[in-house]
Amino acid sequence: MAASLPDLCLKSIFKELEDDLKSQYAFILINRHWCLSVISELWRNPFDSCNKKDQNVKIIDTYLKCLPQDMRDEIGVQSIKSLTAATFDYPSFLRHINDSSIFYSARCWATEKFPVDYESQSNVSHKIQEMLCKLFISSSTTIKGITIDCEHSINIFSLPGAKKSLSQLEIFNCRIYRNVGCLPEILESALGISKKVRNLDIWLSSEENMGTTIENMSKFIESQRNLKVILIGSSEDDFPIIWQSTLMHVDTLVHIQISSIIFNPSPFQLYDLALFKNLEILEIEYCDNFIFSDYNQMESTAFQKMKRISLKTCRDFPSHFIEILFSQAKENMLQVELFGLEDYESIFQSCIKHCKRITRFHGSIVIQQTSLLLEMLKTCKELQDILIEDLSHEPERVCTSIAYFDPNNFIRQLGEAMPTNVHMLTLKINWVFTAKSLDDLFKKFKATNLRILDFSGLSFISDEHLEVIIKRCGGKSKELYLTHSYYFSDEVIEKAQNSFRKVVFMEDEFIYGCYQDDYGELYGSYYDDNDNSGDADSEKDDDDYDSEQTTYIEKPALTMQFSSANNDSTLHNAGDATTNPFEIPTDEDAISADPHMTIESDDVDLSSAHSHVSATPKSTTTVNSDAQSPPVVEINDQSNQSKHYASGTLDEPVSQTIVDLKNVAVKLQQVLHPKGNRDVLRDCKYIHDYWDLWGPLILCLSLAIARKDQEIMVFTSVFTIVWFGSAIVTINAKLLGGTV
């Protein structure tokens, strides 16, 4: 059944495992139907899935095979003119165009082909970017997202076929860091093509004259028919123009983010936010100079649909705005993130009074507010995700004297106040507490639902603390994040590794390639917070990442086995060996290279250079999904053996069923005339031997048709006696301890 699931079911499966490339690689090996389905998902946005230079080179190699001959000739590189055609139409699968990522990948390819000739590198890179953009626009009829980095942008809206392929555009990310480039022309061309954008991410940071660009951007915003999400980062001079266009969508916008703007000379009027009737998510980060007046004229329905508010380092932010927002949203408010604010006391009191159903609280506090925090935790019993940070972690803030404050007592009280539904607990505090206090916390807080425990911000914990964590929270389904590994002995680290499914040590305040302050990156995929902020535009430059900074230990996962004896996957063709452009970084020194990998070079291996797939059709494929190493496909030749079907015999060919009938005859003969080797009745070496019901059926039918008179009564009696008798004998044998 699983081999022929409908496309809708497969898409749901792939959606759940979109971040698990190893499982998706395993799906390719099931059969042709699964292969075609998962290939189209993997190539929706391949450039943003690759973070190594060699991976980007393989991506370009694959796409170059898809270019028509005239485009290959136009690039002018002799080596690509005679490339064989690709197995799949990869460009048709693309759903997101990131011109910066395309240029970077093309640059990696050109650097490898022309290591010394820098002029050729530049020319070829731009030519490949142009040809690939033309190919994507002409091949893919449903481009859903686009990211524009004006430093290397081309006007794809002016390319042939753009009106058809970009008319359904839903995500538009525009990021200007230095040069405006051709952005004004891009926006002007987009005005008549893309009017269905739902997610708009604007970051305008340039010293150039932005007059025409801002004017065209304003028109583009106004032209959208159903804008749902807008993220704005710009200069204080350009913001008013963009904001006026944003106010044209007060009926449709559900998510607004404003970042890194100092509103001078005129402060930002927070009353404008009350005009958005369907607003659910509000994020204001690193901004300054606000005013909240005329709130007495605010409509009674304002902010009633709010589900999430996030305020980070907004100095002198009016606390009464948050109080009114909480009082309006009431129990609809589910997620609260408050960092670096001044007046927490009134905010906590308002949250306790109105928002008792919040499931996520991330916030920074000072010592004087710990009692209010504890009261809030006791009141909000549905909390699942808690992050507590003390303000001394933030720059330019001085921690209040703690002479009167007992951290150990606070930790014990925290255990008493903690809701039982908490799935994730993160502490980033400088309040030193003992291992005994930590033990008391977990005694009072039954961590039965805890999945992620993040103590990476605690620089003082030792072996004694870690022993307590292992004793009270250890579990194979849990993840543990800790501070520097050199704080702990090797023995305790090994014990933690054996107790938790995943253990990650923070080195130099760096986790998984992102700073620990960026919790949206670290935990964003864990909870569905409806934050559709367009992560597709993030660039993953491997040169910026120091692999020695992060120590990562993970328990081996289960081994998945797929029978490929009847596998008709297109990937099982012989061809040139190649590696996976979607490879997850691993410790390559610990993996031995395998020279026997034979997989078609354009059908790139989605695990690593060390994974191998055989072109032999009759084989059993074992995919090792060890999280520490890429999936390894082991080939066992079974050309001289019977094929065995773990899912039953419904999918086996008729020829295989005929072979099985020989075994049925041998066993039937042994039952009717019990002489000779009786081991054939106990031969359960292969799964299909469990399906020998043909023998009892033949015997039953023979007895049932022996009498010519009273056929119905005789047939029914014999059939009933044989089958119910067999069941009774089997149950009796099992109860007596026999083996059946």
Expressed as residue numbers, the domain containing 719 is 654-735
> What are residue 510's phi and psi, to 5 degrees?
-135, 120
* pLDDT at residue 36 in the model: 84
- How far is 379 from 382, CA to CA, in rounded Å? 9
Give the torsion through C-alpha atoms of 47, 53, 58, 59, to 10 deg: 10
* pLDDT at residue 617 in the model: 35
* pLDDT at residue 549 in the model: 37
- What is the Cα 100 distance to its own chain's centre? 22
Residue 455 has pLDDT above 90, yes or no: yes
- Per-residue pLDDT of 507-544, as tens digits, reads 634 433 333 333 333 333 333 343 443 343 333 333 44
pLDDT band at 367 (very low <50, low <70, confident <90, very high): confident
Tokens matching residue 406: 């007992």
Strand, coil or helix: 129: helix
- How far is 181 from 179, CA to CA, in rounded Å? 5
pLDDT band at 676 (very low <50, low <70, confident <90, very high): low
More confident residue, 463 or 293: 463
Read off the DSSP letter of residue 558. Answer: P
Q: What integer best gives the mean pLDDT of the chain?
A: 76
- How far is 598 from 616, CA to CA, in rounded Å? 10
More confident residue, 302 or 6: 302
- How far is 578 from 59, CA to CA, in rounded Å? 11
* pLDDT at residue 738 in the model: 63
Q: Which of 358, 386, 412 is the last residue of a domain?
A: 358
* pLDDT at residue 278 in the model: 96
* pLDDT at residue 645 in the model: 40
Name the nearest CA neighbour of 171 among 197, 203, 133.
197
Residue 459 has pLDDT above 50, yes or no: yes
Span 451-463, mean pLDDT? 92
More confident residue, 430 or 550: 430
Residue 485 has pLDDT above 80, yes or no: yes
- How far is 664 from 697, CA to CA, in rounded Å? 11
The percentage of the chain sitting over the pLDDT mark of 70, rounded to a whole number, equals 70
* pLDDT at residue 31 in the model: 83
Domain membership of residue 293 (yes or no) is: yes
Most confident of 49-53, 164-168, 720-724: 164-168
* pLDDT at residue 493 in the model: 93
More confident residue, 495 or 641: 495
- How far is 369 from 342, CA to CA, in rounded Å? 11
- Per-residue pLDDT of 102-152, as tens digits, reads 999 999 999 888 887 777 888 889 999 999 999 999 998 889 999 998 677
Pairing of strands 619-624, 559-563: antiparallel
Domain membership of residue 216 (yes or no) is: no
pLDDT band at 585 (very low <50, low <70, confident <90, very high): very low
* pLDDT at residue 395 in the model: 41
> What are residue 672's phi and psi, to 5 degrees?
-75, -35
Pairing of strands 385-390, 360-365: parallel
CB neighbours of 569 closer than 8 A, spacing ≥ 6? 28, 29, 30, 31, 32, 34, 35
Neighbours of 491 (CB within 10 A): 9
Tokens matching residue 570: 């297109």
Instruction: Give kind and range of the element (H or E) at residue 23.
Output: helix 21-28
* pLDDT at residue 211 in the model: 87
Q: Which of 331, 358, 385 is the last residue of a domain?
A: 358
- Per-residue pLDDT of 80-98, as tens digits, reads 877 888 888 999 999 999 9
Tokens matching residue 588: 């390559």
Name the nearest CA neighbour of 482 among 645, 495, 589.
495
Neighbours of 119 (CB within 10 A): 8
Span 471-497, mean pLDDT? 89
Residue 229 has pLDDT above 70, yes or no: yes
Alpha-carbon distance values, 194 to 37, 218, 219, 348, 507 (Å): 28, 14, 12, 44, 45
- Per-residue pLDDT of 686-700, as tens digits, reads 434 444 566 666 766
Q: Cis link prior to 265 (omega < 30° from 0)?
A: yes
Strand, coil or helix: 119: helix
More confident residue, 641 or 213: 213
Q: Report DSSP letters for 675-727, one per residue.
A: -S-GGGGG--SSGGGGG--HHHHHHHHHHHTS-SSSHHHHHHHHHHHHHHHHH
Q: Which of 323, 358, 393 is the last residue of a domain?
A: 358
- How far is 488 from 677, CA to CA, in rounded Å? 62
Give the torsion through C-alpha atoms of 454, 457, 462, 465, to 10 deg: -40
Domain membership of residue 423 (yes or no) is: no
Strand, coil or helix: 199: strand
- How far is 319 from 347, CA to CA, in rounded Å? 7
Residue 424: beta bridge partners?
385, 452
- How far is 240 from 267, CA to CA, in rounded Å? 11
Domain membership of residue 197 (yes or no) is: no
Tokens matching residue 355: 């928002």
- How far is 453 from 386, CA to CA, in rounded Å? 10
Domain membership of residue 588 (yes or no) is: no
Residue 338: beta bridge partners?
311, 363
Residue 625 has pLDDT above 70, yes or no: no
Residue 721 has pLDDT above 50, yes or no: yes
Residue 649 has pLDDT above 70, yes or no: no
Pairs from 472-476 (Cβ < 8 Å, separation ≥ 24): 472/439, 472/442, 472/443, 472/447, 473/442, 473/447, 474/499, 474/500, 475/499, 475/500, 475/501, 476/500, 476/501, 476/555
More confident residue, 126 or 616: 126
Name the nearest CA neighbour of 31 among 66, 67, 2, 73.
2
* pLDDT at residue 3 in the model: 64
Domain membership of residue 544 (yes or no) is: no
Give the torsion through C-alpha atoms of 70, 74, 76, 79, to 10 deg: -30
- Per-residue pLDDT of 356-365, as tens digits, reads 999 999 999 8
Q: Across 112-188, where does the E strand assignment appear?
A: 145-149, 171-176
Tokens matching residue 596: 């026997």
CB neighbours of 530 closer than 8 A, spacing ≥ 6? 254, 255, 280, 281, 307, 308
Q: Which of 52-66, 212-226, 393-407, 425-439 has the lowest mean pLDDT?
A: 393-407
Span 655-684, mean pLDDT? 62
Span 410-429, mean pLDDT? 93
- How far is 338 from 345, CA to CA, in rounded Å? 12
- Per-residue pLDDT of 371-383, as tens digits, reads 999 999 999 999 9
Residue 623 has pLDDT above 60, yes or no: no
Alpha-carbon distance values, 178 to 136, 647, 715 (Å): 27, 58, 88
- How far is 411 from 170, CA to CA, in rounded Å? 47
Q: Which residue has the tokens 């042709």?
A: 32
More confident residue, 377 or 398: 377
More confident residue, 180 or 105: 105
Q: How many domains does the chain have?
A: 2
* pLDDT at residue 285 in the model: 95
Task: For the chain, state the CA radius of gyration.
Answer: 32
Residue 719 has pLDDT above 70, yes or no: yes
pLDDT band at 260 (very low <50, low <70, confident <90, very high): very high
Name the nearest CA neighbour of 30 among 5, 62, 11.
5
Domain membership of residue 427 (yes or no) is: no
Q: Are 34 and 24 in contact, with CB atoms under 8 Å apart?
A: no
* pLDDT at residue 682 in the model: 53
Domain membership of residue 31 (yes or no) is: no
Neighbours of 63 (CB within 10 A): 26
Q: Which of 314-328, 533-547, 702-716 has the lowest mean pLDDT?
A: 533-547
* pLDDT at residue 598 in the model: 32
CB neighbours of 148 closer than 8 A, spacing ≥ 6? 99, 172, 173, 174, 175, 183, 186
CA–CA–CA angle 555, 419, 495 (5° rounding) = 25
Span 142-163, mean pLDDT? 89
